[in-house]
């Protein structure tokens, strides 16, 4: 597989020498992201805020992009249009003021207006139904999303603690949290719509990031047991040895997300955007941050951390 190496296996890039610069930049990004989330907040989609859902039926399969453009031109900005059921049916979801107070009558009148605006030439739209999407449902979804993030983090912490030493688990979780916060902060800074698809993209980024970090940590553990060198030299060698694998894997994953962003339509664009940003940030964190954390303060790792405990060695020695 050497012809596929982007970087030579025996590269000697001194990543640990740059650790303070890397960690400072990472901390700055986290501060900016948290600050943006605290001051600007997110541009929540109707998945979280509530709104109106309108089901439309056409005589022939409609052009979704053209329907979306006509709704924008009619003043229904940000309407989510997607196919459902048969190819002749569309679901239009949009935010509207006063829907919680107006109830079914307000939803019905807006549904009629949407059907009129979404009608195509020689292919009129007929409203099948319209209903209010409760804001309380959106709050429940947001809370469930937070629970999902916490559950994944705890699962990662438990898994890595069982597979590695606790210092590795803490460093991996810090790196993953950094990726999640920066990725979410991008949506607060940019003001791009934040919906359930974006949340799903961020959760997938967590899995990608932790997988990348585990590959590096596996090599660190192997090198600690086979090399005679300082922890800093071992960490440098480990990152260099996995560098080609990390970059190639991330590049292929990025291409997949890019294709989804370009051709997946508006409904999947937010998820693809979060995945692209997360892949880039996650790759950089596994190279520059996770290993660097193992050289700082109480997280500093040495060979003794990866050796069998004394009591286990004594127990083995007493066996016949």
- For the stretch 116-173, pLDDT in tens is 888 888 888 888 888 777 665 566 766 777 787 788 778 877 877 777 778 888 888 8
For the entire predicted model, the pTM comes to 0.76
Cβ–Cβ contacts within 10 Å for residue 301, how many?
23
177 burial (CB, 10 Å; 0-12 / 13-18 / 19+) is: middle
Q: Report the CATH number at residue 253.
A: 1.20.1640.10
Asked if residue 177 belongs to a domain, the reply is yes
Count Cβ atoms below 10 Å from residue 49 Cβ, excluding itself.
15
Domain total of the chain: 2
pLDDT value, residue 269 = 87
Residue 117 domain-assigned (yes or no): yes
- Of the three residues 86, 102, 133, the one that is the final residue of a domain is 133
CATH code at position 62: 3.30.70.3400
Same domain, 107 and 143: no
At 43 the three-state DSSP class reads strand
178 CB-near residues (< 8 Å, 6+ apart):
26, 29, 30, 281, 285, 289
Q: For residues 292 and 178, what is the distance between their CA atoms, to the nearest angstrom?
A: 14
Which of 109, 172, 197, 183 has the alpha carbon at shortest distance from 299?
172
Residue carrying the six token digits 């997949």: 256
pLDDT score at 32: 95
Domain that holds residue 100: 51-133
Flag whether 272 is in a domain.
Answer: yes
CA distance 272 to 181: 17
Give the lowest-confidence range in 35-39, 119-123, 181-185, 271-275.
119-123
> Does 89 fall in a domain?
yes
Rounded CA-CA distance 107/100 in Å is 9
Examine the fold and report which residue of 63, 98, 133 is the final residue of a domain before the chain moves on: 133
Together in a domain, 28 and 62: no
* Per-residue tokens: 251: 């590049």
Asked whether residue 31 falls in the same domain as residue 58, the answer is no
Helix, strand and coil percent figures for the chain, each rounded to 5: 70, 10, 20
Confirm whether 319 is domain-assigned: no
Q: How far is CA 285 from the centre of its chain?
A: 14
Instruction: Choose among 239, 281, 280: nearest CA to 258.
Output: 280
The three-point CA angle 53-184-18 to 5° equals 165
Kindly state whether residues 146 and 22 are assigned to the same domain.
yes
Averaged over 14-29, what is the pLDDT?
Answer: 91
- Determine phi and psi for 294, rounding to 5 degrees: -80, 5
Structural domain includes residue 315: no
Domain-embedded: residue 316: no
- Choose one of 106, 133, 160: the last residue of a domain: 133
């Amino acid at each position: 597989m050497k012809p596929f190496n982007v970087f030579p296996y025996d590269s000697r890039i001194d990543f640990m020498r740059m650790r303070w610069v890397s960690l400072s930049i990472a901390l700055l990004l986290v501060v900016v992201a948290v600050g943006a989330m605290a001051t600007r907040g997110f541009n929540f989609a109707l998945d979280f805020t509530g709104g109106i859902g309108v089901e439309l039926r056409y005589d022939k399969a409609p052009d979704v992009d053209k329907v979306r453009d006509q709704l924008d031109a009619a003043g229904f900005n940000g309407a989510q249009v997607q196919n459902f059921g048969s190819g002749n049916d569309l679901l239009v979801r949009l935010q509207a003021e006063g829907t919680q107070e107006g109830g079914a009558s307000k939803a019905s009148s807006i549904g009629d207006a949407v059907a009129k605006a979404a009608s195509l030439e020689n292919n009129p739209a007929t409203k099948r139904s319209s209903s209010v999407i409760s804001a309380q449902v959106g709050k429940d979804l947001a809370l469930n999303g937070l629970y999902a993030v916490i559950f994944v983090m705890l699962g990662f912490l438990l898994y890595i603690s069982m597979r590695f030493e606790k210092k590795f688990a803490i460093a991996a979780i810090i790196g993953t949290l950094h990726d999640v916060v920066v990725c979410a902060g991008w949506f607060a800074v940019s003001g791009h719509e934040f919906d359930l698809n974006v949340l799903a993209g961020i959760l997938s980024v967590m899995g990608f990031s932790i997988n990348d970090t585990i590959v590096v940590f596996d090599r660190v553990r192997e090198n600690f047991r086979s090399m005679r060198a300082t922890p800093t030299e071992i960490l440098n060698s480990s990152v260099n040895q996995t560098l080609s694998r990390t970059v190639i894997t991330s590049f292929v994953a990025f291409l997949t997300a890019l294709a989804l962003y370009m051709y997946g339509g508006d409904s999947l664009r937010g998820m693809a955007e979060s995945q692209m940003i997360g892949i880039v940030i996650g790759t950089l964190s596994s190279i520059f941050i996770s290993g660097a954390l193992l050289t700082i303060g109480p997280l500093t790792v040495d060979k003794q951390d990866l050796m069998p405990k004394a009591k286990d060695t004594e127990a083995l020695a007493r066996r016949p």
